[in-house]
Structure formats: C-alpha cells, structure tokens
Structure 1
C-alpha cells in the first residue's frame, strides 16, 4: 500500500486497490457520442448486468442507461456498440476520503452513451390495439418484455415471412418473363440439356474419334497400370476358383449378381482368366463401395484391399464434407452416378462391349430410369433382352451396347415424357 505525500501538505494519502466493484454498481467512465452535456450532474444512471453469471463472457456484459429531460441514453460494453479500447487498455477509478486520506481504486470501463431515439413519439391508440389479432398482441408483448431468445425467434419469423413473400413474388415474375421470352418447348429442352451435362461431368474420358469400341473408353482411364498390377493378389482367389468354390460363393452371395454370373464363364487361358478376375474383383469392390454413405475409415474396403485402390476410391469417388468441425468423405448422388458410369464401362470391357444393365441396376439398388440415363450419356444403344436363367424379371432386361458409330446424344427419358404446357 504505497503512500502519496505532497510537499507542504498534511498527512500522507494512501491508496488501496479493490479490483472489481460490486456487480450491481460497476465503476463506469462515460462519454456522450453527440457532444457535451450542459447539466451532467442532473443525470441518473442505471446499470443492468447479464443474468448468466456462469458464462465466462456473458457475466461481464453490462448495459448503462441514463435519462435527461429531453433524451434517454444507452451504452454497452459488448457487441458492435462496445468500445474496443476496453480490451486494449485498463482503466481505473479512485475514490478519495479527504478526512482519512484513504483512496480506494477500482477497475473501470468506458461506456459510449448514445441517444435512444424512438419512432413512436405519439402514444398508441387503444382502439388500434383492440383490433389486433391474438398473435399480434403476443408479438407486442415479446417486443416489450420478452427474453433475447424470444426476440430473436420473433425477428427470424418476421424476416422469413417477408423474405418468403419477396422470393415468391420475384420467382413468379422471373418465371413469367422467362416463359414469355423463350417459350415452354425451349425451356424443357434446356432442362434436359442441363441434366445431361450434369451426368456427363462425371463420365470417364470419351474418345469419339476412336475406330474400335475398346478405344472409346480406354481401359487405362479406368485402371492405371500400377492399379491393375495391385489387383493381382486380391483377385487370385477368383482366378483360381473351382466350380465348387463358385457354387459356394453363389450360395453365400459373397459377391454381386453380375460377378457371380460371370465367374461361371471364366476363360481357360491363364492370362485371360487372370485379367477377367481382376476386372471382376474391382467391379465388385466399386459396387460395395457405392452402398456406403459416409466413409469414416481410412481403409473402407478392409485390409485385403490394396492401398493404391483404397486411395483411388477415396480420391475419385467421394466428396469432402465438413461435419461438427471434422472432415468427412461422403458418397453423394453425383459420386454414385460417377461410380455407376465406371461400373458400366468396366462391365462392357468384360463382356465384349455388351452388358445387361438390369443386373447392374439391381446390384447397385438404382432406379431403371437412372441407370438408363447414365447409359445413354455414355452413348450406349439400349435394347430389350432376356435375362440369364434364374434372374428376376428375366423377360424385361435392358441390354446396353457400345458400338460405332456412336449414337447422337438425346434428352433423358424422364424429360421426353413431360406433358406439354399450354
């Protein structure tokens, strides 16, 4: 407790640091934004503090209110109206007792007092209040006496109502202008083209000038040489499977229907057999991978899946999303369409560029219209065929064929069936 002595003065004055004052009586330094007051001694101040004393930030929030004969003033120490100097500097207020020479020093804050201007200068007419609905009366009570949470909810509800009306009006006007300018037929064609372009964005590279079907979608664009080499070990059990092993796999349904059916027709040539087994293993892995939604594991297909294949799946067939502050890999609808396109092309390479789309549709749990849209985007000719014995709906299967010259791209089937608007 240091002493302060002035030359020629009486007893030395001492001061004592008291820290924060009482919560209901803060030490405040005020300044008025609009200028200097003529009679500052006539003002009376009232301080309000936040009720949430347990919250580390909210417990220090204060609102200072004062009134004069003409205006009311309000100041905050938080939010956009709070002064930044409170966080950059420290301020103190000293109260000196002249008789004892004791000065008590307290922490203080600066408040920027601004005049509180009200648009409602004329008292409300009670007749207008009586005409208001119950909902409007409750809203008025919330405005006057509601909690901050209730006021935010009221403001959000009003903004949504106004925003909804504005958007509805703007959309209706814009739609009328577009329809009047372009016409219904042109708009339907634009929608079909947009959907087709959305699907095309996820297709493998298409070489339209190819002279052979196998060069339209090159195998190297599906599996690089390094990835193809990595499939040798996991695909070995499929390549060496006997008739009994295949029958057991069919009974256990350890693979998708397409793979189980193709295992019955493995080539006898060792090199061709190994190639087909690698393609079937990767196709089966793609289909199983597509059935997941959020990928939470680093190796989603298990330890038997080569690292280079796991990396390919995560990099090429998932989308990054943020959830609760963490990054997750998500298989979105667009990514599933991309996987479907790669599965179809791989099946074409396996089956001499002709494959049963219905079997792949059932394996991937897709709607028929969806897989047919993707097949047409891949420039396949779609026709009806009879499915393999034992398969469901064997009379109504769709066959996709990749042949040259490539057919001209058409609008998706779902768009062509739309009714004409008058």
Structure 2
C-alpha cells in the first residue's frame, strides 16, 4: 500500500460538522443498531444560534439527547478542536473533516408517553411558546418567563385574598349598607373639591365666604381687567354678544349692573373671574405659562394653575391637566360665584350650557353644595318651554343626599 496522505475537507456537510458521541451512563451493547436524528436551529441568520444542534437517539430501553448549547454542554468543544479522518485503503488517501463532541444523556421523563401529545395539543398558544422558551430561549427570555410566572402567582394570591375579604365584608354588612357607603363616598369625593362650608352660619352669605373664593389680594388684582366690564354700555354688551367674547351668564348679567359705583365694580370683578373660570374649564392640557392671555393678572394665573389643575407626566415631562375632578372643582366655584352675584339664587341650566356639562353632573355638584333645586321657565339662548333648574342657598341647609345616578343603581339592585 502506498504511503498515506491526507486532505482537509472542513465540514462533512455545509454548516454541519461530523458528530462524535459519548454516552454518559456507560457502553451500549449494540451500537451498530442505533439511528441518530439531528435538529438544527432555524435561525440561520443569527451568528450564534445557527450552529445550535440537538442530537437524538433511541434504544429499546431509553431515549438519549445531546446538544451543543446551554448549561449542560461539554466544555471541551470550546477548548479543543476535533477532527475525523476517513482512510481509503486502496489509494492511501485520508479525508479529514471537522467534528463536534456530543454527550448523550438518557432522557428520563414521562413526557414520552404517546398520550401526552393530546395534552400538548390542548395547550394554548401562549403555553406552547413558553415551552419553546424553556427549551431554546435565551437567558434574557428565560428570566422574563420566570418573572412573568412569579407575577401571575402573586396576582392569583392577591385576587384570592381580595375576593375572600370582599365576601367577608358583604356577609358582615350586607349589600344594602355597602351601596349606601358607595353613595356617601361619591358625595364625599365631590365635597373634597369644595370651598369650606360653615354649616353653623346664620346668613347665606356666611355659609361659603367670599374670601374663600377670592382672597382680598386676588380681588384687588381684578380691578384693572374688570374695568372694561364695569364701564360697558348697551352697545358694548350687544357687540360682545355678537362676538361671543363672554359666556351667556356674563352677557346676561352685564345688562343689570348696579348704578352704585362700588356695587357695580364688585359685580364686574366677580363676572370677569367667573368668565375666566369657565373659559379655563374648557382647556385640557395646559401648555402655556399664561394660558388666559397677558391681560390676566399674574396672581390669578397662578391661582388657576395651582388650584384648578392636576400634574401629570407625559414623555418624561410634567404637564398641567384640567382633569374631570378639577372641572368639578371649577364648576363648584362658578356656582358659588354666581350665587354671590345673584343674591344666592342662580340659574343652573345657563351655567350648565356655558360649561358644556350634563345636567345630572351640575345637579350633583349643586346638591353637594347643599343647594335647594327648583324649576323655572325660559332663559337666555334656550327654548321658552324648556325647564330651567334654579339653585338656591338658604338656611337651614338641606341634608346631603346620594347623587341621582347612585340612587338609580341602588333601585335596580
């Protein structure tokens, strides 16, 4: 036989070196009868995943699995290179190929029972994806899966505890008492945004003090912007109505300014601030430092931003928002200003339309203010046959009642 020569061929097949296997639990009696199946990663574009392979072999007694990735992989593959030589005895030529070592471990699992495939088919898509992540996922994916499962267990525990606690409360108090508590909570939620109520007052003007709505300093700051309203003539009022520069309530009250200079100035200041509050309630996100314009005094702008907006976070920045609760607060202050202007009786329907509210909403706020609600006919800008709701602040104050929507739900239950 001629002297042997060798030639390096690289991989046995494209991207697939030869496999050298060793069995972790001993030697096989009939190794020639074994058949091997190779599974390759489909992610051929990924530089690390495209070389992942799983080698499977099955004997009469056991099934063996080996892989070249993960925690159980043999370290020798990263420290050494293996080759396989195939010698042609006639020509003396040896073909040398790349090789990779696989440590075949016996798979001791009940999942090999054929009936288990039925259980697998019943699993949801999410559960099947989780099984794939357990077998082939990256470390980051496995950590995310573990975290999600822990959160799910925690949520189940909390949900069970809340359900049990709710059942105990219902058994102890009863459904009727709980519905009354919910109705009372709704009244208290609205009441949290109201100015201080002095229930022991001996006169209506002392129930909600004017100083709690406008401080003396704020009232003084309104002198300049309100001067144009105080000096408005009939022609000026008609022009303002045509331009709709003010709300309907203000335009109507401008027709009845007192002749006395001090009373006229006071009413003009209240009307200017009331009109500003209504315009401010129509905003949503406040993006300007002075949203009501340069003619609005700085102390009033600061009052609007501090007392009638909520802070919110959006895209990493802080914004001022006129939320639903803040609009309820503005509505309460508008109603109280209108009461001080009109001798503690005002048309709620006109204010409702100016503020673009539902009737039930403004009535709920009026009742939280302890007003007596009555009906009246006609009104500015409305159909003559439409019922108007009047709110009157009088003593003694009526008892607080649950909002109408809550009472309706209580009757249904």
With normalisation by structure 2, the TM-score equals: 0.68
Determine the structure 1 residue equivalent to 2:338: 347
CA 1:394–1:161 in 2, change beyond 3 Å: closer, same or farther?
farther
Aligned partner of 1:237 in structure 2 is 228
1:325 to 298, 309, 316: 316
User: Aligned-pair distance for 1:143?
Assistant: 2.4
> Is the aligned partner of 1:406 residue 2:397?
yes
Call closer, same or farther: CA 1:193–1:144 in 2, change over 3 Å: same
The structure that has the greater radius of gyration is 2
**Structure 2 residue 192 is matched with structure 1 residue 206:** no
CA distance in 1, matches of 2:165, 2:120: 35
Q: Contact 2:379 / 2:388 at 8 angstroms: preserved in 1?
A: no
Q: CA deviation at 1:292?
A: 1.3
User: Residues 299 and 405 (structure 1 numbering): CA distance in 2 closer, same or farther, change over 3 Å?
Assistant: same
Q: Tell me: CA distance 1:382–1:66, structure 2 relative to 1, closer, same or farther (3 Å).
A: closer
Q: Distance in 2 between matches of 1:393 and 1:313?
A: 35
**Contact persistence 2:190–2:328 (CA under 8 A):** yes
Partner of residue 352, structure 2: 361
Q: Hey, what does 2:112 align to over in structure 1?
A: 126
Partner of 1:145: 136
The alignment of Structure 1 onto Structure 2 pairs a total of residues equal to: 312
Q: Secondary structure at the match of 2:256?
A: coil
| 232-241 vs 131-140, which moves further | 131-140
CA 1:153 to 1:384, structure 2 compared with 1: closer, same or farther past 3 Å? farther
> Quick one: distance in 2 between partners of 1:148 and 1:387?
73
Find out whether 1:309 has 2:297 as its counterpart: no
Q: Is residue 2:171 matched to residue 1:180?
A: yes
Secondary structure of the corresponding residue to residue 360 of structure 1: helix
For structure 2, the 5+ residue unaligned runs are: 1-45, 48-68, 76-105
Determine if contact 2:179/2:410 at 8 Å carries over to the other structure: no
Q: Secondary structure at the match of 1:241?
A: coil
* 1:334 matched to 2:325: yes
Q: Give unmatched runs, 5+ long, in structure 1.
A: 1-50, 53-63, 73-119
Is 1:388–1:394's contact at 8 Å kept on the other side of the alignment? Answer: no
State the superposition RMSD in angstroms: 2.9
- Please point out which of 181, 196, 209 is paired with 2:187: 196
Q: Distance in 2 between matches of 1:281 and 1:153?
A: 58
2:385 is the alignment partner of 1:397: no
Distance 2:235 2:387 in 1: 30
Q: Distance in 1 between matches of 2:375 and 2:275?
A: 24
Judge which range, 338-347 or 157-166, deviates more: 157-166
Equivalence for 2:85: none
